[in-house]
Amino acid sequence: MTIQRCGWCSDDPIYVAYHDDEWGKPNFNEAHLFEMLCLEGQQAGLSWITVLKKRDNYRQHFFAQPIASIAALTDEQLAEKCLDAGLIRHIGKLKAIRDNAIAWQNLRNNGTDMVQWLWAFVDAKTINNDVPDYKQAPAQTEISNSMSKTLKKNGFKFVGPTTCYAFMQAVGMVDDHENSCPSKAK
């Protein structure tokens, strides 16, 4: 029997695992939230599967390290990372990961609980949208616009409203699984 997943999910095993095990499921792990915010920014102009296929390399270069270590990366170290074909070789996007780590640390050092702060945009609970077809899901919302403006004001990069909405979907702030998908929260 074939499982009828959301229409955007191909049969690529990486995509299937991401769809079934992660996308739309509430996540409150600080390191994971940071990783996903940064990875969504890496996608700009590319397909999500491109990012997913490079995810292990991003983890090796960045996300397996503490956020403070990422914040301390030099321009020279980032330029060196830009030579690795296992990453998206766009220096602005790689610098954004470091800049986001600096912004994240600054907020945390000022007493902000980053998990609570991010989840506060959705009042700490998942928004479960009615999605008969994935093509009808929004690309951005008032909430993702607000999140984008707030993140940018605090020094984050590559966090436009569409990126923020994709982040919200990825970490389960929003459940945009199709209504007929077995992964849809009931």
pLDDT tens digit sequence for 11-49: 999 999 999 999 999 999 999 999 999 999 999 889 999
132 has a pLDDT exceeding 90: yes
User: Annotated active-site positions, please?
Assistant: 18, 40, 48
Q: How confident is the model at residue 69 (pLDDT cuts 50, 70, 90)?
A: very high
- State which amino acid sits at residue 110: N
pTM, full prediction = 0.96
Provide the CB-side half-sphere exposure for 52 (13 A, CA): 16
Residues with Cβ within 8 Å of 103's Cβ and at least 6 positions away in sequence, in order, are: 151, 154, 155, 156
Query: Domains of the chain, with CATH numbers?
Result: 13-175 (1.10.340.30)
1 has a pLDDT exceeding 80: no
Q: How confident is the model at residue 4 (pLDDT cuts 50, 70, 90)?
A: confident
